[in-house]
Structure 1
């Protein structure tokens, strides 16, 4: 077995995953056209890192370490957001600008399920060493969700 093969085993042991997708709205709630939708992932060893693992066979051990570099959020409306951090978790009353957001320009009406499909892809940077060798590589992991977006109509009358 080569050090590179052991590195792949170590990476598999980390159980790296796509983002634990979180957004300002949840479940059946509906977002609003023109209002920023905060995007973030729960931060943990398998969703953002850092994470490390060792794989070995008699006489050879390789340790790999992974850290997420970015999340690309395909928002289902033909646009994507690239966020180079885990994002800022929303809290009720949160008025500070998020570090990762998307603003929908159209309602999700007419989309399958009346919702936009959201695909978040994390790119992980992995370094490994052992057995007199070392290397680095990138791996990606994806998660999916959906979000319903509606419009608010305002009627102003003069008396």
Structure 2
């Protein structure tokens, strides 16, 4: 454009843009990153903002520490981008009139200047999609007012991700009650995978005997009470689409890493499976000090001046179900914690 009042800004990867919508900010925003807030009856949100609402519907309701899961399959990644409904035709017109045109039409594309918006969305002039083919986007007459439906816009949880450029269409209209037939349109699986990162599981606070200090060559018993770990389910919904998914994490095993090669685990793999009642291992009973526990560690050398770092990680099996009878599995996740283990030698006196 020749006027400074009408400019297209392509936002480079790693730089957060902003956009405008009409939904309420929810748990879907990344609390450690850019957020959004109400302003002049519009929601000002960054490109990483999604309108997917997420709430926990079962499990992990305690007040202790909680954390997010790390996928066991390190190559697995959730969707980098997708499209969501943002404006009704009437809301889009009101936004353009009220702001004189200043906001995002895509993850990496912002329009500044009212004529950019009115040319395309009011006067029917074609625009350009910044997709692989640099395709042409047909224009609209008077914002499609009276036709219902929504204008959809691309969203990326992390706009710096290279794959977020795959959603290169500028904001487009979709008839009511339908999901757009375009690549990267949202599905129930999209919501399930988005919810994966929102699952919060309890800290792995294992029970130990002896609790504070172990002795060389004597087993340390490890167990988790059956009430400590329960399934955790989060529900994700995308407004105005009918799409929803519930993602469930179920604890299936506890892995022990003694923090030193001078130790033996029981079982030898260090993988303690969850019992039928939901517990792990067996609580220590008086007189069992010399027995080999079903879940435990035997240290073979004293820790000396610095304690060993015992790592305990619970593996959580992930499944999901969603709208339209859909459902499947996702990669299992782990949550790991560490604690200091002081190991002493048995002192004896020879006469």
- On whether the aligned pair clears a TM of 0.5, the verdict is yes
Moved more, 138-147 or 5-14: 5-14
Deviation per CA, 1:55-100, whole angstroms, max 9, x where unpaired? 2123122122221121111111125621112222336x26386431
In the TM superposition, residue 33 of structure 1 has moved relative to its aligned partner by 0.5
Moved more, 64-73 or 78-87: 78-87
Stretches of structure 2 lacking an aligned partner (at least 5 in a row): 1-185, 275-279
Q: Which residue of 2 is the match for residue 140 of structure 1?
A: 334
Q: Which residue of 2 is the match for residue 149 of structure 1?
A: 343
Q: Does residue 32 in structure 1 map to residue 227 in structure 2?
A: no
d(CA) in 2 for partners of 1:9, 1:94: 49
For residue 54 of structure 1, the aligned residue among 235, 245, 254 is 235
Moved more, 142-151 or 48-57: 48-57
d(CA) in 1 for partners of 2:284, 2:304: 25
**How big is the alpha-carbon RMSD for the aligned residues of Structure 1 and Structure 2?**
2.4
Q: Does residue 22 in structure 1 map to residue 211 in structure 2?
A: no
Q: Does residue 99 in structure 1 map to residue 294 in structure 2?
A: yes
Q: Which has the larger radius of gyration?
A: 2
Instruction: Check 1:53–1:152 CA distance in 2 against 1; reply closer, same or farther (3 A cut).
Output: same
Q: Which residue of 1 is the match for residue 283 of structure 2?
A: 89
Instruction: Check 1:106–1:5 CA distance in 2 against 1; reply closer, same or farther (3 A cut).
Output: same
In the TM superposition, residue 152 of structure 1 has moved relative to its aligned partner by 0.5
For residue 122 of structure 1, the aligned residue among 305, 314, 337 is 314
Instruction: Check 1:42–1:150 CA distance in 2 against 1; reply closer, same or farther (3 A cut).
Output: same
Instruction: Check 1:42–1:34 CA distance in 2 against 1; reply closer, same or farther (3 A cut).
Output: same
In the TM superposition, residue 41 of structure 1 has moved relative to its aligned partner by 3.2
Q: Which residue of 2 is the match for residue 68 of structure 1?
A: 251
Structure 2-normalised TM-score?
0.38
